Structure 1
Amino acid sequence: VRSLEQQRSVLDAQWKVLQAKGEDKSNLEDIYQEYIRGLRRQLEMLQENKEHLQSDVGHMQGVVEEFKNKYETELNNRNHAENEFVLIKKDFDDAHLNKVELEARLEGLTDEIDFLRRIYEEELRELHAQMNNISLTVEVDTNRHFNMDDIVASVRSQYEALAQQSRQEAEDFYRVKFEDINASADKSNEDIRNSKQELNDLLRTIKNLTSEVQRLKQQRGQAERAVAEAEDLGEQALKDAKKRIADLEQELADSRRQMAQHVRDYQELMNVKLALDIEIATYGKLLEGEEDRLSSLAGARGRNPRNYSYNFGDDADLTCHYESAVPRSSKTVIIKSIETQDGSVVSETTEVRN
């Protein structure tokens, strides 16, 4: 009986421990559930952030497409400007060649004017020399008294008038030529200056367009990098959240299995405890009945010795034997044997002896 009471105490202690563990597990399950709800909220937030990021990605793709269109437009403008630059450069080269040609012609005409001036002066000197020779010849050969001075003066004036007229015509002709050449040169210079100005404007435009294209390329690269980083962060956060949720669900399933196992163990212990309580109560009543019966027999007939034997096995098996020492001829002996194992009644036998 004491051994059974000790086992009962041990079972009570185990029951309390299991109840405490059950409460702890219950609290742990609540904590897991709360944590899972928090993770699900985080997952929903990540989903919303992903949707916002996708919207931002769409917006950035639109911006990138707009920048791409601007870039293509600016590139076409640049190509058009480069083509115009090539044409203007060609016109500039032609104008420069024309200017060089006109300068060469001007130089040639200047040389020609100088050459004709020298020829004119040389012819004039020869004419003066001829006139002097004629006057001398007249004086030597004729020996007549003519007014040669008037004749010479008249001829000289005629030649001088003719020479003056020729020189004036030559000067007028070459002056007109020179003015035309200067006008052409001035026009060529003006065209060259205009071409240079247009060329500088085109170069500035090309430079500005190149800077704008580089800036748009940088903005496009930054936008693409930002979109890629946002997508990577969102995907990584989503993967981490899913992995964490899967781990927590696995832990929760393990905890539930452990809790179910503890509940089954608890139920088994309760069954064992209930069986032991029933067995202890049975033994107690049995012993009380035997003691009462023995007391009544002892009071009626005096001392009547009885033999009792209790066998407590190592595995908590109990075998109870009791035998009355009353003579067989006068009393009936009842031998009742009850065998238990692991808190359960294995066998129960009753033997009546006369």
Structure 2
Amino acid sequence: MVTEMGSATIGGISPALSANAAKSFLEATDKEKKELQIKYSTSLSTARKDIDDSARRKAEIDVKVARLRDDLAEYRNRYEDIQHRREADREKIAQWTNAIADAENELEMLRARVHEQEVKELQALLAQAPADTREFFKNELALAIRDIKDEYDYIAKQGKQDMESWYKLKVSEVQGSANRAAMESTYQREEVKRMRDNIGDLRGKLGDLENKNALLEKEVQNLNYQLSDDQRQYEMALNDRDATLRRMREECQTLVAELQALLDTKQMLDAEIAIYRKMLEGEESRVGLRQMVEQVVKTHSLQQQEDTDSTRSVRGEVSTKTTFQRSAKGNVTIAECDPNGKFITLENTHRTKDENLGEHKLKRKLDKGREIVFTIPPNTVLKAGKTMKIYARDQGGINNPPESLVFEGENTWGIGANVVTSLYNKEGEERATHTQKTIQTGI
């Protein structure tokens, strides 16, 4: 809550002292502001740099993980391709083994058929030839059969060797392919294991970086909260300073007015003393004395009228003392209430934040119990650092929101010795007050 007190009484503060106090307060406020900026700018820059480094590292790790995943998928595809090729070679070996077995079986059958056919032909020849011839041909036939058998054995042996060499070659090729596939499979398994280990390490590092990033973000959030609090306290300090400056200016103006009144009184008293001195020194007649007295009374009456116009009597029958008090819960305060009831001024003391005063109520209670109520139109926004005057009807104001409004319900806000003006929000909560008390005393 910001509270301002003002009094139109004579004080002992000189304008020079007030100016020095205001200057010292401004210098202290500026120094505190610079210290706060230096204190938190370094922390914020360091936190932002750590966050940027964490984001960059996280991006690099994501790229490495994606590349490793692509490599893993490629190795997996190659491994599956080699497995398929190995299965296909095994099927080919089985087919070739079956083909060799079928060829050997067919070869044995052909041998048996050829042998049987030759035996039948020789038996037929032997049956037709004479005994000597039969014996001769029998020997020749035995030799021929032996030669045929030897040649057949040689051909069969050669074919078997060729078949075995071809079979061994194919088997060696298949075994080499299988060994290569097994080696590649082993290498791929080791590579996959290494990649999984790397991925696990990267995930651990990523988790650590994410935790560090979360801590840094939390620290930045706390610093932002603290900065907001410091800014709010700084705004409150500025508002207090502005209120103090306004109060000191008002007191200075009051002191100047009182000093001027005292000077005027001194001049009047000097004139009276000079007249009385002439009365004592001169030998004027009763008529001259009456003229002097009338002159003194006329001068006294003129001075009293001038002081009454300035709302203060220095040497009259009545002395007027006016005291006012202002308070606010928030940024909007009642800055001024016209003594003649022409207008009321609202002020937004915040430097950056606008305030929505739509449907707020302004109540003014006079000393006789009368209460004047005015409701501010909806969607009326008072800009930061701006003021808004609310005029009574026919008091020279124009309806130009949000700078000025006209209260058409009353032609005056009312005057009195004890006047309380209050501002309420839509929920009926009192947000600002302005209290004015006027006391008249005789001298």
TM-score (normalised: structure 2): 0.45
8 Å CA contact retained: 1:96, 1:192: yes
- The answer for the alignment partner of 2:241 in structure 1 is 249
Q: 1:225 to 1:205 in 2, by over 3 A?
A: farther
2:32 maps to 1:45? no
**C-alpha separation in 1, matches of 2:223 and 2:259:** 53
**C-alpha separation in 2, matches of 1:224 and 1:206:** 30
Higher normalized contact order (CA 8 Å, seq sep 6+, divided by chain length): 1
Greater mean alpha carbon deviation, residues 176-185 or residues 111-120: 111-120
Candidates 191, 202, 205, aligned match of 1:212: 202
Greater mean alpha carbon deviation, residues 193-202 or residues 231-240: 231-240
CA deviations over 1:189-217 (Å, ceiling 9, x no partner):
22222333444455456654598389289
Q: What is the CA distance between 1:50 and its match in structure 2?
A: 1.1
8 Å CA contact retained: 2:86, 2:177: yes
Q: 1:172 to 1:234 in 2, by over 3 A?
A: farther
- The answer for the alignment partner of 1:181 in structure 2 is 170
**C-alpha separation in 1, matches of 2:214 and 2:186:** 37
Q: What is the CA distance between 1:91 and its match in structure 2?
A: 8.8
**C-alpha separation in 1, matches of 2:146 and 2:201:** 78
**C-alpha separation in 1, matches of 2:182 and 2:30:** 75
Q: How does 1:281-300 map to 2 (within 5 A)?
A: none
**C-alpha separation in 1, matches of 2:215 and 2:176:** 53
Q: 1:44 to 1:182 in 2, by over 3 A?
A: same
2:180 maps to 1:191? yes
Q: What is the CA distance between 1:246 and its match in structure 2?
A: 3.0
Q: 1:219 to 1:158 in 2, by over 3 A?
A: farther
2:45 maps to 1:54? yes
- The answer for the alignment partner of 1:170 in structure 2 is 159
Higher Cα Rg: structure 1 or 2? 1
Q: 1:167 to 1:57 in 2, by over 3 A?
A: same
Q: What is the CA distance between 1:113 and its match in structure 2?
A: 1.6
**C-alpha separation in 2, matches of 1:107 and 1:174:** 15
Q: Which amino acid aligns with 1:243?
A: E
Q: 1:89 to 1:237 in 2, by over 3 A?
A: same
- The answer for the alignment partner of 1:258 in structure 2 is 250
Q: What is the CA distance between 1:129 and its match in structure 2?
A: 1.5
8 Å CA contact retained: 1:99, 1:188: yes
- The answer for the alignment partner of 1:307 in structure 2 is none
Q: Which amino acid aligns with 1:191?
A: R
Q: Which has a greater percent of strand?
A: 2
Q: What is the CA distance between 1:256 and its match in structure 2?
A: 0.8
**C-alpha separation in 2, matches of 1:259 and 1:333:** 45
Q: Which amino acid aligns with 2:44?
A: L
Q: 1:51 to 1:96 in 2, by over 3 A?
A: closer
Q: 1:99 to 1:172 in 2, by over 3 A?
A: farther
- The answer for the alignment partner of 1:317 in structure 2 is none
**C-alpha separation in 2, matches of 1:105 and 1:334:** 155
**C-alpha separation in 1, matches of 2:248 and 2:54:** 52
In percent, how many aligned pairs have the same letter? 5
Greater mean alpha carbon deviation, residues 150-159 or residues 53-62: 150-159
Gaps of 5+ in 1: 1-13, 283-288, 290-322, 324-331, 346-354
**C-alpha separation in 2, matches of 1:44 and 1:119:** 107
- The answer for the alignment partner of 1:294 in structure 2 is none
TM-score (normalised: structure 1): 0.53
Q: How does 1:1-354 map to 2 (within 5 A)?
A: 37=28, 40-41=31-32, 44-58=35-49, 60-62=51-53, 64-65=55-56, 68=59, 74=64, 78=68, 82=71, 86=74, 89=77, 93=81, 99=86, 102-103=89-90, 105-134=92-121, 136-144=123-131, 146=135, 157-203=146-192, 208=198, 212=202, 215=206, 218=210, 222=214, 225=217, 229=221, 232-233=224-225, 236=228, 239-264=231-256, 267=259, 337=293, 339=297, 340-341=300-301, 342=304, 343-344=314-315
Q: Which has a greater percent of helix?
A: 1
Q: What is the CA distance between 1:174 and its match in structure 2?
A: 1.9
Q: Provide the alpha-carbon RMSD of the alignment.
A: 5.5
**C-alpha separation in 1, matches of 2:57 and 2:288:** 113
Q: 1:229 to 1:202 in 2, by over 3 A?
A: farther
Q: 1:205 to 1:236 in 2, by over 3 A?
A: farther
**C-alpha separation in 2, matches of 1:333 and 1:92:** 139
Q: 1:156 to 1:222 in 2, by over 3 A?
A: farther
8 Å CA contact retained: 2:126, 2:138: no
**C-alpha separation in 2, matches of 1:221 and 1:156:** 97
Q: What is the CA distance between 1:52 and its match in structure 2?
A: 3.0
**C-alpha separation in 2, matches of 1:120 and 1:253:** 126
Q: 1:241 to 1:117 in 2, by over 3 A?
A: same
CA deviations over 1:20-64 (Å, ceiling 9, x no partner):
9x7xxx9xx989978994795365134322123224434543564
8 Å CA contact retained: 2:122, 2:141: yes
Q: 1:223 to 1:77 in 2, by over 3 A?
A: farther
User: Secondary structure of 1:121's match?
Assistant: helix
8 Å CA contact retained: 2:33, 2:234: no
